[in-house]
Amino acid sequence: MSTTIRASSILPGRREDIELHTADGLRLVGELALPAERPPVATLVCLHPLPTHGGMMDSHVFRKAAWRLPALADVAVLRFNTRGTSSVRGTSEGAFDGAVGERFDVAAAIEYAEFAELPNIWLVGWSFGTDLALKYGCDPAIVGAILLSPPLRFSAPEDLATWAGSDRPLVALVPEFDDYLRPAEARERFAAVPQAEVVGVPGAKHLWVGDAETVLDEIVRRVNPAVEVPLPTTWDGPMESGDVSAYADRTVAAFADTPVPGPAAGRAD
């Protein structure tokens, strides 16, 4: 019997807690989710929203990616907390560094994926995470990057120039009603990268509430084109249910000017 896939649904997969070790001596907590019975076709390394306002490895789009995509799309999902960031998984060592020290966090995640021989590694950044991808993600090990709600706050024109000089695909998913950068302006800004693809998402907002499935479809369309999208909304087989109650306040706070306990607060990007 088919069961509807809900926000709390956890589809079959192999999931293990992992630790990343940065070049400046920090231990970061994370998780790697893999297909249950076969090797992955592609890999997502997730870079989460601003931790000063609740962004973390469990921010809802990334949580749903880890719970669904190994089963629905044969995709591995590596997500982790950047320095000083907390979630149910735990707290990574260090302190938020305004997209400076986080360069070591990005490098450690890519290195882990390489060492684990994960295939076709894509960066998926969300909000603050898109700036980390633009600044530090144009690495030889990376196939390309997908940017969710890019504010272009911490990144600079020279970072776009670095991507422009590579042959790596760069895809920006931009909500129609984004708080920081909307589709028309995004197309102007990303025109500096000839291979960049800007996808405006009608009706969506920065938080992607109600639009997570659209985001996952667009991600899978790029990283594993052999999978038909839209992805199924029901599942035939075993399914677990995760507790999402711990995240409700942080999901909203991640994009509001309401700080949550943790690193010193700043503007919500």
Do 135 and 159 form a contact (C-beta atoms < 8 A)? Answer: yes
- Please name the residues in contact with 248: beta carbons below 8 A apart, sequence gap of 6 or more: none
- Give the model's pLDDT for residue 16: 98
What percentage of the chain reaches a pLDDT higher than 90? Answer: 88
CA angle 48, 127, 242 (to 5 degrees): 40
Helix (H), strand (E) at residue 198: strand 196-201
- Give the model's pLDDT for residue 256: 41
Do 261 and 85 form a contact (C-beta atoms < 8 A)? Answer: no
> Which tokens sit at 203?
């009706």
| DSSP-assigned beta bridge partners for residue 236 | 2
Do 19 and 253 form a contact (C-beta atoms < 8 A)? Answer: no
Do 109 and 85 form a contact (C-beta atoms < 8 A)? Answer: no
Do 93 and 58 form a contact (C-beta atoms < 8 A)? Answer: no
The rounded distance, in Å, linking the Cα atoms of 4 and 232 is 9
- Give the model's pLDDT for residue 255: 41
- Give the model's pLDDT for residue 264: 36
CA distances from 82 to 55, 66, 109, 152, 178 (A): 10, 17, 10, 19, 24
- Give the model's pLDDT for residue 31: 98
CA angle 84, 85, 90 (to 5 degrees): 105
- Give the model's pLDDT for residue 250: 53
Helix (H), strand (E) at residue 153: none
Do 75 and 226 form a contact (C-beta atoms < 8 A)? Answer: no
Residue entry with tokens 């405006």: 200
- Give the model's pLDDT for residue 53: 86
53 SS3 class: helix
Question: With a cut of 50, which residues of the chain have pLDDT below it?
Answer: 251-269
Q: Is the peptide bond before 230 cis (omega within 30 degrees of 0)?
A: yes
The rounded distance, in Å, linking the Cα atoms of 43 and 30 is 15
pLDDT tens per residue, range 116-149 = 999 999 999 999 999 999 999 999 999 999 999 9
The rounded distance, in Å, linking the Cα atoms of 205 and 183 is 11
- Determine the straight-line distance between the first and last CA of the chain, rounded to whole angstroms: 42
Do 148 and 215 form a contact (C-beta atoms < 8 A)? Answer: yes
DSSP state of 191: T
